[in-house]
């Protein structure tokens, strides 16, 4: 089974974007013990074997350097960090208005990102300010996506080949904009790797594997059925959130009487 794995912060907060350091270590060691290759996303795109995973970290939290990197460096493992370029060195300010109970957490600064890049971590783009892309004008969307790629080039001297859609929110315009600036893009669609969808790559959110017992079934028929069920449930919730967002937008655009 091949998959791109999603992490955000590695900490003890128990928030919906957090995986504990203990659980993260268990995940990595389980894959290694099972002989499942851990490869960069770009290698996964052309990987010929049946089993492999790629580690990705959204937003660029400071905890990635402090909690994840020592283990990854110990085993010489690759990873990808998706960076919100206008917030580098600050905090995840976008979370304050999301209503999801996500704590304010510190983000890596440019010096730290440069250090990760020198140690073989792939630094990729996650927009400039983490907006809900489908709600933006085309000009603003291009600035968020293409502008973030330029920021990484200017500050780190790299050409980012990968992008992750903020909130996993994809629409035809966002997909086209991502494709103009990058070679591939990750969604939050829950599922096994699909190399035919380079601008709509599904991932598996590792928050679900905080407790022991589930990851041990990785790759089994039962596990694949569980992934499909979880994907359907997340799609229903995502559709409900989109409807709520659209309803709120319609109400705010109506003239006051």
With residues binned 3-state (H G I as helix, E B as strand, rest as coil), the percentages for the chain, rounded to 5, are 45, 20, 35
- Look at residue 55 in the predicted model and tell me its pLDDT: 98
CB 122 within 8 A of CB 41: yes
Write the pLDDT tens digit of every residue in 133-170. Answer: 999 999 999 999 999 999 999 999 999 999 999 999 99
**Which pTM was predicted?**
0.92
pLDDT one-digit tens code per residue, 168-210: 999 999 999 999 999 999 999 999 998 889 999 999 999 999 9
Task: Provide the pLDDT for residue 245.
Answer: 61
Q: What fold is seen in the domain 2-219?
A: TIM Barrel (3.20.20)
Q: How many CA atoms lie within 13 A of 150 on its CB side?
A: 7
Give the up-direction half-sphere exposure of residue 137: CA atoms within 13 A in the CB hemisphere. 3
């Amino acid at each position: 089974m091949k998959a791109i794995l999603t992490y955000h912060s590695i900490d003890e907060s128990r928030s919906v974007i957090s995986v504990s350091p203990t659980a993260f270590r268990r995940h990595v060691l389980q894959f290694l013990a099972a002989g499942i290759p851990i490869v960069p996303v770009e290698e996964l795109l052309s990987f010929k074997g049946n089993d492999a995973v790629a580690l990705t970290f959204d937003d660029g939290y400071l905890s990635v350097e402090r909690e994840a990197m020592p283990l990854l460096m110990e085993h010489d493992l690759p990873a990808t960090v998706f960076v919100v370029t206008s917030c580098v060195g600050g905090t995840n300010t976008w979370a304050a208005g999301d209503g999801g109970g996500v704590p304010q957490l510190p983000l890596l600064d440019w010096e730290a990102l440069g250090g990760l890049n020198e140690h073989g971590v792939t630094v990729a783009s996650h927009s400039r300010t983490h907006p809900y892309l489908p709600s933006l004008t085309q000009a603003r969307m291009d600035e968020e996506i293409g502008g973030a790629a330029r920021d990484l080039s200017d500050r780190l001297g790299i050409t980012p080949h990968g992008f992750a859609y903020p909130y996993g929110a994809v629409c035809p315009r966002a997909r086209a904009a991502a494709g103009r600036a990058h070679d591939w893009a990750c969604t939050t669609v829950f599922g096994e790797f699909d190399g035919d969808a380079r601008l709509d790559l599904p991932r598996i959110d590792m928050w679900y594997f905080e407790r022991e017992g589930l990851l041990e079934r990785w790759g089994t028929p039962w596990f694949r059925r569980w992934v499909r069920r979880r994907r359907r449930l997340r799609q229903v919730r995502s559709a409900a959130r989109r409807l709520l967002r659209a309803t709120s937008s319609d109400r705010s655009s109506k003239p006051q009487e």
